[in-house]
Amino acid sequence: MKAVIRQQWKARYKTALMLCGIISLVSLSVIVTGQGSRLFENNSSILKYWLSIAFAAVYLGVPLYTLTSVITTIKNMVFKDTKYLMLTVPKKSWELIGGRLLVILGELIAYAVVMLFWLSILFASESGGMISFENQVYSSQAAGFFVRLGEIYSIVFVKHIVETIQIIPMALIGAVFIMMVFSFSLTLFASIFRHKQFPRVLSLILVYIMFDLSVRLMALIFNGYEVNTVSALWAPAGIIALLASVLFAGTCVLFEKRIEG
């Protein structure tokens, strides 16, 4: 799988670096212009208007783009000429698909780290922006930037470390589940229509339907549990992890038996 990961990384690292740069640029613009806490307030100036659009587009768009890039990756493997290159290499389908999805997951983690880093700077640089964050931070807004920054990190990594180390894998499970829904839907579509003429846009409609069903299913699973604490989330998260594994296995089986078949 190492070779698959290395090649996938080579294919994507330039985009990943560029997106990290864009996240940093937009975040810095917000921090430097001192618009952090007032970004989404009314009576916006033109600068605030564009900054808020850029901020929302980057902070929502980049993770969304990364998750949907699973669609592009799987599409290339099942529909494009480049599939020959991947199908002729002496690797099992779980290595080919798993390696590629792992790189995308790694990218997602990298963007999350960069975003959270800039958000911490944003909160620390704008005391007003911390009002809703935690009472402890609010109490120290009179202090300097580094004191406030230190407090943010101590809340996340000291005071709430137990919650933090639980939320990270749960967020990863959620991301993996969405990636698996995308991969499975596309592979299923390619399996059914692999030798037929069809408008490719149909595959995206199937992905959308599967995604919609999955979100409803996730909501149903979470509704079945009383979630008062972070640790209570483990039961529904476990079910979602299991579903993600089933979808991954399904994708690999379809890929091996139907796409190659």
Candidates 89-97, 114-122, 153-161, 163-171; binding stretch for other proteins (CB under 8 A): 89-97
Q: Which of 17, 53, 85, 242 binds other proteins (CB under 8 A)?
A: 85
Min separation Cβ 68 and other proteins, Å: 19
Q: Which of residues 111-140 bind other proteins (CB under 8 A)?
A: none
Size of the site for other proteins (CB under 8 A): 22
Q: Which amino acid is at 258?
A: R
The residue count for the chain: 261
Q: Which of 32, 42, 199, 261 binds other proteins (CB under 8 A)?
A: 261
Q: Which of 31, 54, 87, 149 binds other proteins (CB under 8 A)?
A: 87
For other proteins, the closer CB: 135 or 195: 195
Q: Considering the rule CB under 8 A, would residue 216 count as an interface residue with other proteins?
A: no
Look at residues 121, 129, 101 and name the one whose alpha carbon lies nearest to residue 41.
129
> What is the separation of C-alpha 217 from the centre of its chain, rounded to a whole number of angstroms?
19
Q: Which of residues 164-203 bind other proteins (CB under 8 A)?
A: 195-196
Question: Which residues of the shown chain bind other proteins in the complex (CB under 8 A)?
Answer: 3, 6-7, 10-11, 76, 81-85, 87-92, 195-196, 257, 260-261
